Structure 1
């Protein structure tokens, strides 16, 4: 991955790896998900450890299923390399050119400097219990650590999910996003996702209500 810094227009190469998640990654993943999808006021931050524990247990259960039609992916950066680079330049980055080498799914060489900076899940899902429609690849829980956003990591995770969907024999992926999540909506738009329908978000009626958008993408095989 090549990062361009606005202060001196210098490009530095940082390797990003996308791998299948293991049990050793679940603590980092659950923290990223808790911080990304739940925004509690400061006086209620004590809730995060309990929320993280619940997310962690749910994730470990999914990983134990060993389903061939489910993947949890993690994006990892070399912490030492990244810290050295940011110490030499401004941390406010303009853009990322995705020239990184991505490891094949399943490879996970041990490296104590690698830190989890993003995650995503993909699985086959049915429209509903009573539906006669066929299953489809559904992307969920796409999240990137706050300090590593706007570097193209989310796009790389999406692309890897689309590769998995193609390997399963599908040419379409679907996902949901809240209508008030403008940054996520822009990410999906930039990656070719289009709004298919708007749904009532019953789970958030007592909090910050926002309808859910169902997005779809036809995957190019070129």
Structure 2
């Protein structure tokens, strides 16, 4: 599966984890009652794109709250997030494809750590020196952002979906969370710049942060994740699905086009003048009837 990479929508101060790749096709990861158009990532990965600057959500959240501290990645922070959403757990698969099943992430500590591990592996760029340190730091930031979203998002505004073997063939002793091989975020948003392309809609479901473990790429895990996002869109009664991809990433755009997404706009030419790659905005309209919206 081809790499999906998208340039960050803003600049942030340099930190150790900023060595990670730019996240793919996305730009909003925080989900609140009125989700901010901040960062996140979107993309089926064979490597990754804009990591920290997108995955972590903007330095400012609604109400002026800053990006959650790395202290949130402690056992206490993970446990609190799990308790906050545990009652919403639902292990029913939203979609099945090529032997993979996709469901909503369980709100338990070890599963959230696994999700952070998968996303960190997809977006981290190895460095020559102290790579383990940079990776661990980045993974902690990823987990911190995930905990924040879980604890502060209404259950019908944000969901993290995970892909696993629908009929596991691995050892029975393997813990359930260890079977997760792919991840994607779905966030309800209402950005005016996007809504102008969506006739009659006041919100849409934004797909971002698609990540697949290296050893499971090119095995239709990304396709399964996209189908599950669409199933969630039906479930939440959203008419439009939205994502972003790099304009020159033919593999990613081909995957999305095959899934029914079409290009509706592109970044302006000037983004290339500041060293960023142009992105395309892609949408898919779900065949909902009026009484379902």
TM-score, structure 2 as length reference: 0.53
SS of the residue 1:196 aligns to:
strand
Relative to its length, the structure with more strand (as a share) is 1
Contact 1:33–1:141 (CA under 8 A) maintained in structure 2: yes
**Superposed displacement of residue 27, structure 1:** 1.7
Mapped contact 1:201–1:209 kept (Cα < 8 A): no
Any conservation in 2 of the 1:201–1:211 contact (CA below 8 Å)? Answer: yes
Q: List per-residue Cα deviations over 1:75-123 (Å, max 9, x = no partner).
A: 113797158xxxxxxxxxxxxxxxxxxxxxxxxxx97255110011111
**Is residue 157 of structure 1 aligned with residue 225 of structure 2?**
yes
How far the C-alpha of 1:17 sits from its partner, in A, is 2.7
Change in 2 beyond 3 A, CA 1:26/1:159: same
Q: Which residue is 1:77 aligned to?
A: 165
Distance 1:118 1:137 in 2: 19
Aligned counterparts of 2:273 and 2:175: Cα–Cα separation in 1: 43
Residue 127 to residue 18, structure 1, CA distance change in 2 (3 Å):
same
- Aligned residues of 1:76 and 1:118 also touching (Cα < 8 A): yes
* Alignment gaps of 5+ in structure 1: 1-13, 84-109
Contact 2:203-2:238 at 8 Å conserved across structures: no
1:151-170 deviation line (CA, Å, top 9, x unaligned): 11111111111111122222
Q: Does 1:19 align with 2:103?
A: yes
- 164-173 vs 194-203, which deviates more? 194-203
Q: Distance in 2 between matches of 1:201 and 1:60?
A: 36
Return the offset for 1:209: 2.6
In the alignment, structure 1 residue 215 sits paired with structure 2 residue 282: yes
CA shift digits 1:12-59 (9 cap, x unpaired): xx8433221123322222222222233244436231111110010110
Alpha-carbon contact 2:181-2:216 (below 8 Å) kept: yes
In structure 2, the residue matched to 1:112 is 175
Residue 36 of structure 1 is matched in structure 2 by 122
User: 1:66: how far off?
Assistant: 4.9
Structure 2: segments with no counterpart, 5+ residues? 1-97
Task: Indicate the residue corresponding to 1:194 in structure 2.
Answer: 262
Correspondences of 1:53-72 after superposition (within 5 Å):
53-67=140-154, 68-72=156-160
Q: Is the 8 A contact 1:201 1:210 kept in 2?
A: no
Counterpart in 1 of 2:253? Answer: 185
SS of structure 2 residue aligned to 1:58: helix
Instruction: Return the alpha-carbon distance in structure 2 between the equivalents of residues 60 and 202 of structure 1.
Output: 35
Distance 1:77 1:183, change over 3 A: same
Number of residue-to-residue matches in the alignment: 182
Q: SS of 1:138's equivalent?
A: strand
Aligned to 2:239: 171
- 1:78·1:115 contact (CA, 8 Å) conserved in 2? no
Partner of residue 138 from structure 2, selected from 51, 71, 83: 51
Query: What RMSD in Å do the two structures reach over aligned CA positions?
Result: 3.4
Contact 2:186-2:205 at 8 Å conserved across structures: yes
* Segment drifting more, 42-51 vs 149-158: 42-51
Q: How many Å apart are 1:62 and its aligned residue?
A: 0.9
Measure the CA separation in 2 of the matches of 1:26 and 1:202: 38
So what's the TM-score if we normalise by structure 1?
A: 0.68
